[in-house]
Amino acid sequence: MILAFWVLLAIYAWARFLQVFPGNVPMLAILALHIFPPLVFVLFHGSLFYGWRDILTFTVLFLVVGNIFENLGVLTGVPFGHYSFTDVMEQTDGEN
């Protein structure tokens, strides 16, 4: 299990390095490598301490709460001020 955690960390670190050279690897792949390895790590690590039921409850609860606040912030600027997504998040399928 410890080796799996180190592999996930290495994948995430590699994704951070790839972000410096966005033309060589599709940005969607880089974004996926920023999201999925930490997600897998959190779920497995959390399940060791809290059990599967509790960590999945935590995950669902904070995905819902986080999504509500993000949408509220984009629409109204409350509670964190106005912001928008960068061009990286708005790329079309024909771009890297």
Q: What is the tens place of the pLDDT at every residue in 54-94?
A: 999 999 999 999 999 988 888 888 887 777 667 765 554 44
Do the domain assignments include residue 83? yes
Question: What is the longest distance spanned by two Cα atoms in the chain?
Answer: 44
Do the domain assignments include residue 15? yes
Q: Is 81 exposed, middle or buried (0-12, 13-18, 19+ CB in 10 A)?
A: exposed
- pLDDT higher for 12 or 93? 12
| Domains of the chain: total | 1
Count Cβ atoms below 10 Å from residue 23 Cβ, excluding itself.
7
- Strand extents, DSSP E, 3-62: none
pLDDT of 62 reads: 92
Do the domain assignments include residue 49? yes
Do the domain assignments include residue 95? no
pLDDT of 96 reads: 47
Do the domain assignments include residue 48? yes
Distances (CA, A) of 27 to 3, 13, 38, 89: 27, 15, 17, 9
**Full domain range(s) for residue 10:** 2-90
Do the domain assignments include residue 96? no
